[in-house]
């Protein structure tokens, strides 16, 4: 397993590099398919965030989906320990999920998943006023509200709902955007209370 270390605004000592290699090598027992793990260490310059100034982000590449985990702490080694623990937990959950679904030939359709999702009432602007649009760099922002500070574009192959749930667990997020293979609709699977999930699909007209 290859380990690649990168840093922003922080120096990586030989002690940290050795600790990273030793701790990350243990991940292979949770997922033997891991080929490469990228480690990015960055430092927050805001003095108000000194207690979580160091962020360690791990990205594991394998024959399966990409797995990510991150953690923040006051020093590099503490953040590394937390990030490795989180990635190991995600790998264990993924392995458990593969065992539970082993031999299952009929995945749940999006229609069946949507049947258990309770609809929510839509919210409307009480004033009906149209706010002005302002440009912040390359991004257009409506009114004086919160800024969109990050945009991402991912390539995606259509997949079944089970695969979307599996990949959501791997990256450790509460939602996952995908294109449903059965309906060919853009869809989002998201985590509800307990062990339940919901699915939202777009009917493009």
Task: Name the architecture of domain 158-201.
Answer: 2-Layer Sandwich (3.30)
Give residue 29's pLDDT: 84
Instruction: Give 119's pLDDT tier (boundaries 50, 70, 90).
Output: very low
Give residue 136's pLDDT: 53
Stated pTM of the model:
0.51
Identify whether the C-beta of residue 9 lies closer than 8 Å to the C-beta of residue 42: yes
Domain 2-99 and domain 158-201 have a common topology = no
Identify whether the C-beta of residue 18 lies closer than 8 Å to the C-beta of residue 76: no
- For residue 9 the two structure tokens come to 């605004």
* Alpha carbon distance 185, 195 (integer Å): 24
Residue 64 in this model has a pLDDT that exceeds 60: yes
Q: Can you give the residue ranges of every domain in the chain?
A: 2-99, 158-201
Give residue 171's pLDDT: 73
Residue 86 in this model has a pLDDT that exceeds 80: yes
Instruction: Give 22's pLDDT tier (boundaries 50, 70, 90).
Output: very high
Q: Which CATH superfamily is domain 2-99 in?
A: Ribosome hibernation promotion factor-like (3.30.160.100)
pLDDT in tens, 134-185: 555 555 555 555 556 667 777 778 888 888 888 887 777 788 888 988 888 8
Radius of gyration of the chain (CA): 21
CA atoms within a 13 Å half-sphere pointing along the CA-CB vector of 194: 2
């Amino acid at each position: 397993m290859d380990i690649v270390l990168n840093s922003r605004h922080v120096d990586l000592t030989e002690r940290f590099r050795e600790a990273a290699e030793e701790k990350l090598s243990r991940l292979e027992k949770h997922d033997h398919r891991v080929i490469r793990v990228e480690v990015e260490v960055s430092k927050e310059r805001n003095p108000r965030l000194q207690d979580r100034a160091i962020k360690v982000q791990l990205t594991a590449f394998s024959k399966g989906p990409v797995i990510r985990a991150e953690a923040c702490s006051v020093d590099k080694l503490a953040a590394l320990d937390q990030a490795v623990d989180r990635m190991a937990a995600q790998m264990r959950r993924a392995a458990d999920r593969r065992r539970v679904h082993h031999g299952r030939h009929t995945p749940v359709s999006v229609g069946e998943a949507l049947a258990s999702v309770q609809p929510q009432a839509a919210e409307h602007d009480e004033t009906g006023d149209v706010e002005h649009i302002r440009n912040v760099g390359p991004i257009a922002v409506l009114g004086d509200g919160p800024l969109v500070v990050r945009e991402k574009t991912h390539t995606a192959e259509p997949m079944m709902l089970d695969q979307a749930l599996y990949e959501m667990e791997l990256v450790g997020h509460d939602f996952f955007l995908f294109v449903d293979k059965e309906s060919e609709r853009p869809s989002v699977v998201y985590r509800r209370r307990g062990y339940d999930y919901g699915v939202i699909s777009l009917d493009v007209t």
